[in-house]
Structures are given as structure tokens and as C-alpha cells.
Structure 1
Amino acid sequence: MTDRTRPTPRICPACDGFASAAISLGGRDSRGHLRTITVHCRDCHGTGTLPARTATLTGGRA
């Protein structure tokens, strides 16, 4: 009996798997820390992968 393998996760085409990025706002605060914000991919919501598409039958026999 062979081992069952899990399907490979689909990498998000919008971000290529790099779902989060830290972007500098420029300048520093009063303590000298660089001001940054974290931005997430809109398509995958910061996970880097998309769920597998499910096949749907439309107007065909089952």
C-alpha cells in the first residue's frame, strides 16, 4: 500500500508566496526607531497560498 501524499499548496499568483511586507514610512520616531507598517496581500489575506479550486459540474451528467 502506498502512502497518500497531500496535494501541494497553490502559491498565490498575486504575491508569489511573499504575502506580507514591511514598508518604511520614511523618517524615525522620537526614540530613533524606523517607522514601518505591515501590508498583507489582498488576494490571499497574508497566507501566501490559495485554496485548491473545486471542480463544478454545470449542466452535465454526474
Structure 2
Amino acid sequence: MTDRDQPTPRICPACDGFASAAITLGGRDHRGHLRTITAHCATCQGTGALPARAASLTGGRA
């Protein structure tokens, strides 16, 4: 049995870890580049992971 040094990351269920996306606005600027905006996941605020629960941070059962 292997021991883990770090706990497994809690991937955000809303975005599955893909917290940011570039979305094209459908046109190009005067230099010919696509106009894009960046949209972030509202659940995890763009981090892709959720913070660990307080119970798991204490390291044991109550």
C-alpha cells in the first residue's frame, strides 16, 4: 500500500477542472486578431479545484 504525501485535489464538479475558457466574440480587430474574452467558472472562481473541507483538514475522525 502506498502512502500519499499530499491529498488528492478536489476537482470542481461544475467545470471538471477546466476553470477558464477563451470565447471568441465573432469578429476581428483592426490588426486581424480574433477578439476573445475569458470566462471563469463561478463555482471555483477560476481555480479548477474546491478547497478541502474543514473535517479533512483536521486529520482524523471526531
TM-score (norm 1): 0.78
Structure with bigger helix share is 2
Q: Which residue of 2 aligns with 1:34?
A: 34
Structure with bigger strand share is 1
2: CA distance, partners of 1:44 / 1:4: 25
Query: Once superposed, which parts of structure 1, at least 4 consecutive aligned residues long, lie more than 4 Å away?
Result: none
Q: State the Cα distance separating 1:38 from its structure 2 match.
A: 0.5
Count of residue pairs the alignment pairs up: 55
Q: Percent identity?
A: 81
TM-score (norm 2): 0.78
